[in-house]
Amino acid sequence: MRILVAGGAGYIGSHTCKALSRAGHIPIVIDDLSTGNEWAVRWGKLVRGNIGHQDLVTRVLRDERIDAVMHFAASAYVGESMLEPAKYFQNNVVNTLGFLDAMRSAGVRDIIFSSTCATFGDPLRLPIDESHPQNPVNPYGESKLIVERILRWYGGAYGVRWVVLRYFNAAGADADGEIGEAHDPEPHVIPLIMQAAKGDRANFAIFGTDYSTPDGTPIRDYVHVEDLAKAHILALQYLAAGGESEAFNLGMGEGFSVRQIIAMVERVCGHTIPILEKPRRLGDPERLIAGAAHARQVLGWQPEHNFGSIIASAWAWEGHRVTVQSSLPGKE
């Protein structure tokens, strides 16, 4: 199949392009490179552009004879969304509407949409399964939930067939060391801790040490990026086989606190990590743990990586990512 991967120059999108290629599919990336990396587009061609440009997307869908799309293109930082909600509703909602209408114009019906556990907000129960109420506490989660609702209406009115994949916390890196996390600025906990361990940062900031958790720091469910990529391949197969439009939560079903992650990284790298304690950030729930039984039962998805594998692969990537980035065409 020929798959248009919106946001395929980003972290999860690039790993999914590699998985698509390995599975015998042909990924075509559309990305404006506002946050993605050109050097990460290594499996299929790159079309540089914004998904909100309907004419461009329609032309690409037709010219490339696209069979289905995967949509990763979004602004995705909780803290930033609290300060700049307009950016999040423009990038994540308005641009997606243009993208969906381009799909309609080109006659492409199938979409796999990258959503998030942030659509649930503060959990009423754990683990969080698909039946949990969705009540976002930040504009990022709200923007993703709006798109989920748009997909349901577009499905009924226009025949769009969709799978929504709600990630918990993506982490880790490609086993071959070809791609991994490379954000600028870097917002995510695990690479930030590792950069502090390497001395690239003066310290690692813990935002909130007074949560009602065993060590006072927030708890998250982490899932390896390669397992997320595999879920997209399974979702593609599911739609191609005539599966009904569905939403699936993706996580390991196990939570780790910030202090637990720090301790594990210290064991892996052999260094003590300097810590700076700061107040809680707005929009950060205390605990987020996935209930992913539905994905296992319907898609046949099963995470292959444990948390130790996540940390080991992320540390290996941190050790040579500068070399990888600088040695490839289109480096940033």
Residues with catalytic function: 140
* Residue partners of 150: CB distance under 8 A and separation at least 6: 93, 96, 97, 100
| Residue 49 CA: distances (Å) to CA of 115, 168, 312 | 21, 28, 35
CA dist., res. 103 & res. 270, Å (int): 50
